[in-house]
Structure 1
Amino acid sequence: MSELDDVYVHRGLWTNWSQGPVLGRTITTDTRTGIIVISILAILSSVATTHLWHIVIFALHQIRARGCPSDLLFWQQQAILRTLPAPSALMAENVNLWWIWRKRAQCPFLRCFGHVLLAFVYVIGALSATISTSFVVQTSNVEVLVNTPFCNKYIHRDQKPGWSHLDKTLDRAASYRNRCYGEGVSLPETCHSILIQPRLLLQQSITQCPFSKSMCTKGHVQAISVDTGLLDLTSDLGLNLPRQEAVKIRKKTTCTVVPVQDHLRMVNASTDDVYRSEQEQGFGFTRPTTSQIEVPAVALGKNLRFSRDYGNLTFIFKPPNDGLPLGYGVKQVFALATPSNLTKWDVVPELKLDDADTVLVAIDLRGATYIAPVEDILFSAHRSNQNNSRFFSDRPVGLLGCTQQYQYCIARPSQTEYCTQLRGALLDIPPITLPSISPLQKAALKHFITITRNISSVRSTFGGYLNATASISPMPGLPPDQWVHEVIALETQFLSLLQVMFTDHATGYASGDGDAKNSTPPVQSRDRNDRSLLCNTQKMRKAGGFANINYFGLVFIIVMTTAIVLLDLYLLKILLFLSKFHRAMVPRLDRWIQDGILQLQRRAFEAETKGSWGKIDQEVPVTTTDEKLAELSHASLPQGYKVTQNFATSDLLAQRVSSSYLLSQWGADLISSLSRFKVGHDTTDLPHQVEDDVSDFSVSTMPDRSKD
């Protein structure tokens, strides 16, 4: 089985029902477009987190804006919050405040590092949000919807001996089983890039022999039961069905080693008869001859595939000197519990059950040789050559008898799912068997029934797969429970065939097999229960080249970003409008406005009696007339003295402290001092109080002559 061809991938919007009708909305596109979308989403996420931070800062400022008397540290923090600093800037500003006020204010560490912690947590959250946007787009090993005009079932012709496509299907299933159904826990990477569920699990247990006592081996483990559990056709086999249309299937197989001694026949048959039986079993060999030879045969019910009457014989094997393959040969027959012309085996009563199908597997052991004896009850080998260097099977043929039971479950709207009892395979779906079944569910069940019937036909024609198939001779030996491993191998072969045939129906047999001439593009049937309802419902995986964009996630990020940006831009205007109806909101909002840099500038001009002002209760104050305002003077220095360096003792004060704040601190003393001294006096003549106030500043003692 190979990866899905790019031309059969559905591009555009579709619904992945396994994720729900909302979260499952998916856009499939090429990888390049997916990368562009990831970049756009990252930008949108950054924009959203920036504006959301503004809202957080606004909320923090409003919570603190109670109007109560507080120390200067509090007012400096409010001024910093009003500037809407970035999270990193808020952390730096508060660390600086803590360092300056560490010995001057009460609990400066807790008061400052609370803001630092808030900014740090927000940065982590913003990074997480930005990273999470990348999950909206998947660019590797994505689930895709198969879309091909070749979706149709392959109708093989029973009378045609070639069955080329089914032969190839068996080979592809065996190859996939060898890769993806190994004993290791981890699977090769190629297994994860083809099917939705690369390996279906089996549950095994020891149980009682299901047949008559004469068909059970005494003194050994009675039987092994292998159960698939309920397989969901959506999550396990990749059918894209809504949850209310879900279909689940369970297959339970119970196998035991059937004693062959009482049913083994060595018959004299012409080579022509032997090879005709091989041809009638689907192998397609003929070799006319009249020589009489003795070949092994198994008599456990008439094989109806034989055109000649061989009596009660079920299997006839090739002569040992006539091209016997190395290792083992495997043949199968099956009998359905429900009478049908599909059954090609008139099973003996000892193997027949009313509630299960019966499968008989015959293994030709004549071509196997071993270095050591084999104790397994199916492959037992104790006959040896003269020097005991080679060991041969104790009998020419080994038999496995199995029962197969199926359980079918369907989801029902507003009700619990309905399940049948374990029974033989269904051939049709009468309403009494599965009441309230929908057309889509019926089509899915028919699809499964047809595939299982084809698997039985393939196995009865081409045999089966054995773990013990030898590539070299002689073989080193086999473990004593090898037959249990073979039962599991037969079931994993069934599962791999099931997976291969499900995907073959979706992609179309003609797309991958030139011999499948019966496969044609589907024509919409008037019968809505036809399997064509399942066309364009199969999901597979693609390792690369395509990207899946979650439609819900894409829309959610765009809508949330737009909403956050608009809220940040218009939040204050909305609150100001609401404050007309809720007067309690006015003081806090007014404090936000008055702490703004433009309002602080207005207050500085007013402190120097410059300008006549309007809109002083809004974010942007204006002068009532188009008047010219002189530059604000430096903070509280005697006129005529030049500032030789920044009057602030730190960058924080230089950036944040307004003229009105400085005037409030030194204004009174300076005004009283300047009233007694003329411009240009040396600072040594100033009172000590003034000297202390201006001691943090470096000033020139020379008068300012620039105006002279």
Structure 2
Amino acid sequence: MWWESCEKIHCGFWVNLENNRAAQSTLTLPTQWGIILTAFLALFIRLAGSYLWGIICFVIHQSNASSENQDDTYHQIQVALRNTDTEASLGWKLFRVGAVHQGSRINAFGRTSWLIVLAMVHAAGIGTLGGLSSRFIAGSDAVLAVKGTCGWMGEVAESPTEQLSDELKDPKNFATFSGLVVMARYGYRRSASYARSCYAQTSDNSSNACQIYTQPTLPYNVSLSEPCPFNEKVCNGTAMTADMDGLRSDADLGINTLPESAVTLRQTWTCVPVDAQPYATQWGDADELHMNISTDGRWNEGVPRDEERICYKVGTDETEQTPFLFCLTKNALKYGDSAYDIKSATSFVNYNGSYAPIFNPVPELDIQDADVTLMGLVSRITYPEAIQDPWFTATNYSNRTNNAYDANGWIATHPRSFLGCRQRYQLCTVDRSYCSPYTGIYGIPHENDDLKDLNPTQRAVFQLMWKMIWFTQLNFQLIFIGRENLIANDYLWDGGTQFGLSAALPSNHWQAEVSNFFNVSLATLQRAAPAFAQPPRFDVGNPTADQDNNILRYIQEPQEAEMRRLCDSIKMRSKAHTSFSVLGLFLLIGIGLLIMLVNTILPPLAAYWQRRTGLGAYKRLEWVESGAFQLQRMAAEGRGVGPWRGKEDDVPTLGGSRGERFNLTGMSLSAQGGEAGAHGGYHAVSHGEEVEMGVLREETKDSVASTSKRGLLER
């Protein structure tokens, strides 16, 4: 259907608050209707241009008009100006005038060339304006999303006395949490795909796939030689920082509010390879390692106690009361089901929930005012040469490698190698009258009582922005798409562990992985606002008698009035739609109509002023008599056909009874067959005679010659 593309995009008038007040009103149409409107406007501009050309010709004609005797070139130019509708027609007529007089004593081309150039310039200008009209009125491809089942996925209420695993024993909680996890993983996979397509150095962010959010990409700065964010002794080289500062909720993320209600975001990640080998245990079973709980801190849950493993005491997991983290068994290392594996632990500022284990890092890795994520990488890959990258380090040569071809090569230096990241966030009002602490995600105040100094719209935008960056956490990204999102997968011989082989990695490959993590977080941030207004729709589970199986049934809609208003205030971009500036439309049409009105009333107004003042009477008469129909009348009178009425009008009419007929061409042919004399076939009115419908009437020659002019000049 012609309007079906308006199900998710608002078609019609809306207000884009990002623009200046004069240009805020916007009209969005499906592209096919936008093309029709653009074509109409181009034709309208061409029509208005023809009326403007008529005004120009009138002004030039009146400026040239003179009561003095003039040569034939003058009169031909005046007739051309009076009876030409288009620039091309005038140019051609004047060129012919110049060509006819070429070589004579009259410099006709010198008198007509500037008019020809003017006609060409006007035609080119109007043509260009018509062709570019869409640029003047089409503001952008920014569109307003139609509110769907607005809100966020429902979350399982966090209990201070129960862990999440206990809460999920309730079937209702399990179904709700399952919907949340599936939606989150779906969103991260989409964001990872967008990041690869639009953020990567080799990507083309001008492609249509990158034109769905308010900005194709979000800008940030990268520094590759930062000091270690942790204790120097745990850092394995210099750190890398990705810093995005001054990101606006309106211009960059599409939350359509007044500029003064916008909120800015700063997000900074500083990452560095970590030397965690001094914190590693020896290989041994649970008893040899003195592990007093069988669950092994969830890192090897269900593993028999007699199986050999290695753990890293880089902190404590208060959830399970154990210092044995990032444990890995020999069997898992050798026979794992993936080429790479990532385990992570995050220390949050002011976090007391149960969605993530409470990780307390060792003092060397502890930062009080930032979130800290520690990632442990397992590599089961054989490389053709030694890998010097500090995170993917592979410097052990082995001829007993576990790959499909039993190829000798280089394998991982350590069972796990580590990367640590410090994450800080800050939200501010656009005028910076209020700024949150520059800290971890949970260290940012975001409840109503914490934001009393903000107006209702600012508070709603602030809370929405906090929820959006909550979704971008590195912790979540690693949980949902960690190993499958590694850039190192692009170097593998296959998609899994069938070959167990990879091309060699660059020595700074870890920086590409960090950049990709950050890019995915930004793509997730871009996706968060549209997903708030229009959560993705797909089916999970089986429908029941009282509800369908759509995942949207788990959406919790906002309760606050201002937050609900934001559901209708999310902007996107769409190549299937065109947005026009209403101001541009009205100005273009208004100016065009004004030109048409001026063209219509200018000659009568000039004639009225000339009659009232007595000035320029000859100019008025020359404009009237050089009209095509008046010239025809005078030609007919010269052949004895008359009398005529309306000698001051644009179109004169023949007097006498209705239905009288005459043939000017026949008279010319008859004159050519007889004695045409010096006048070439024209019948000269004799002294004392007037021809009225072929009947001669006594009258003086002077009266015949002066009838027309006297009537026009004296009125």
After TM superposition, the score normalised by the length of structure 2 is 0.76
- CA offsets, 1:534-576, max 9 Å, x none? 21222334444x4545433443343333222222122222333
Indicate conservation of the 8 Å contact 1:193/1:541, yes or no: yes
Distance 1:356 1:524 in 2: 29
Change (3 A) 1:573 1:547: same
Change (3 A) 1:216 1:24: same
- CA offsets, 1:179-222, max 9 Å, x none? 333321524845235333333344211221122222323xx3x2
Q: Does 1:315 align with 2:329?
A: no
Q: Report the counterpart of residue 454 of structure 1 in structure 2.
A: 471
- CA offsets, 1:307-356, max 9 Å, x none? x321x344334553485233221122323344654772223333333443
Q: Secondary structure at the match of 1:8?
A: coil
Change (3 A) 1:364 1:113: same
Indicate conservation of the 8 Å contact 1:146/1:537, yes or no: yes
Question: Number of residues paired by the alignment?
Answer: 634
Indicate conservation of the 8 Å contact 1:192/1:541, yes or no: no
- CA offsets, 1:597-646, max 9 Å, x none? 45545666777898678876665667998799996989999997636999
Q: Report the counterpart of residue 502 of structure 1 in structure 2.
A: 529
Q: Report the counterpart of residue 155 of structure 1 in structure 2.
A: 154
Q: Does 1:227 align with 2:243?
A: yes
Distance 2:540 2:641 in 1: 92
Change (3 A) 1:259 1:643: farther
Change (3 A) 1:455 1:129: closer
Distance 2:232 2:669 in 1: 120
Superposed displacement of residue 405, structure 1: 2.3
Indicate conservation of the 8 Å contact 1:420/1:433, yes or no: no
Q: Does 1:326 align with 2:338?
A: yes
- CA offsets, 1:662-702, max 9 Å, x none? 98xxx9xx99xxxxxxxxxxxxxxxxxxxxxxxxxxxxxxx
Distance 1:335 1:445 in 2: 24
Q: Does 1:382 align with 2:376?
A: no
Indicate conservation of the 8 Å contact 1:42/1:133, yes or no: yes
Out of 338, 347, 361, the position equivalent to 1:335 is 347
Q: Report the counterpart of residue 186 of structure 2 in structure 1.
A: 168
Q: Report the counterpart of residue 535 of structure 1 in structure 2.
A: 567
Q: Secondary structure at the match of 1:254?
A: strand
Q: CA RMSD in A?
A: 4.3
Q: Report the counterpart of residue 556 of structure 1 in structure 2.
A: 587
Indicate conservation of the 8 Å contact 1:318/1:324, yes or no: no
Indicate conservation of the 8 Å contact 1:151/1:508, yes or no: yes
Superposed displacement of residue 58, structure 1: 0.9
Change (3 A) 1:321 1:23: same
Distance 1:274 1:167 in 2: 31
Q: Report the counterpart of residue 394 of structure 1 in structure 2.
A: 413
Distance 1:639 1:42 in 2: 50
Letter in 2 for 1:211: F
Q: Report the counterpart of residue 292 of structure 1 in structure 2.
A: 306
Distance 1:63 1:631 in 2: 37
Indicate conservation of the 8 Å contact 2:393/2:417, yes or no: no
- CA offsets, 1:423-454, max 9 Å, x none? 44353248999896443332222222123223
After TM superposition, the score normalised by the length of structure 1 is 0.77
Q: Report the counterpart of residue 682 of structure 1 in structure 2.
A: none
Indicate conservation of the 8 Å contact 2:426/2:438, yes or no: yes
Q: Report the counterpart of residue 100 of structure 1 in structure 2.
A: 100
Q: Report the counterpart of residue 696 of structure 1 in structure 2.
A: none
Indicate conservation of the 8 Å contact 1:137/1:547, yes or no: no
Superposed displacement of residue 39, structure 1: 4.1
Letter in 1 for 2:513: E
Superposed displacement of residue 150, structure 1: 1.0
Q: Report the counterpart of residue 576 of structure 1 in structure 2.
A: 607
Q: Report the counterpart of residue 204 of structure 2 in structure 1.
A: 186
Q: Report the counterpart of residue 117 of structure 1 in structure 2.
A: 117
Indicate conservation of the 8 Å contact 2:11/2:27, yes or no: yes
Distance 1:64 1:101 in 2: 20
Change (3 A) 1:190 1:83: closer
Q: Does 1:427 align with 2:459?
A: no
Q: Secondary structure at the match of 1:251?
A: strand
Which range moves more in the overlay, 472-481 or 510-519?
A: 510-519
Q: Report the counterpart of residue 705 of structure 2 in structure 1.
A: none
Superposed displacement of residue 94, structure 1: 1.0
Q: Report the counterpart of residue 209 of structure 1 in structure 2.
A: 228
Letter in 1 for 2:458: Q
Indicate conservation of the 8 Å contact 1:51/1:568, yes or no: yes
Q: Secondary structure at the match of 2:372?
A: strand
Distance 1:555 1:30 in 2: 20
Q: Within 5 A, what are the aligned runs for 1:285-684?
A: 287=302, 290-304=304-318, 306=319, 308-310=320-322, 312-317=323-328, 319-321=330-332, 324-338=336-350, 340-341=352-353, 344-365=358-379, 367-386=380-399, 389-412=408-431, 422-425=438-441, 426-429=443-446, 437-456=454-473, 457-459=475-477, 461-462=479-480, 464=482, 465-469=485-489, 470=492, 471=495, 472-510=499-537, 517=551, 519=553, 525=559, 527-530=560-563, 532-544=564-576, 546-579=577-610, 584=615, 588-600=619-631, 619=650, 642=673
Mind listing any 5+ residue stretches in structure 2 that lack a counterpart?
157-163, 169-176, 401-406, 542-548, 688-715
Q: Report the counterpart of residue 75 of structure 1 in structure 2.
A: 75
Indicate conservation of the 8 Å contact 1:11/1:29, yes or no: yes
Distance 1:166 1:587 in 2: 84
Indicate conservation of the 8 Å contact 2:244/2:268, yes or no: yes
Indicate conservation of the 8 Å contact 1:370/1:475, yes or no: yes
Indicate conservation of the 8 Å contact 2:57/2:81, yes or no: yes
Distance 1:474 1:262 in 2: 29
Q: Report the counterpart of residue 252 of structure 1 in structure 2.
A: 268
Superposed displacement of residue 276, structure 1: 4.7
Distance 1:644 1:208 in 2: 111
Distance 1:112 1:153 in 2: 73
Superposed displacement of residue 117, structure 1: 0.9
- CA offsets, 1:369-406, max 9 Å, x none? 22211111222211122489221211111222222222
Indicate conservation of the 8 Å contact 1:150/1:510, yes or no: no
Change (3 A) 1:106 1:303: farther
Superposed displacement of residue 226, structure 1: 1.1
Superposed displacement of residue 138, structure 1: 7.2
Superposed displacement of residue 81, structure 1: 0.7
Superposed displacement of residue 359, structure 1: 2.2
Q: Secondary structure at the match of 1:476?
A: coil
Indicate conservation of the 8 Å contact 1:234/1:240, yes or no: yes
Indicate conservation of the 8 Å contact 2:61/2:82, yes or no: yes
Letter in 1 for 2:526: Q
Mind listing any 5+ residue stretches in structure 1 that lack a counterpart?
672-708
Query: Percent of pairs identical after alignment?
Result: 21
Indicate conservation of the 8 Å contact 2:149/2:535, yes or no: yes
Letter in 1 for 2:14: W
- CA offsets, 1:463-500, max 9 Å, x none? 63321134452222211111211211211121222233
Indicate conservation of the 8 Å contact 1:406/1:422, yes or no: yes
Indicate conservation of the 8 Å contact 2:426/2:444, yes or no: no
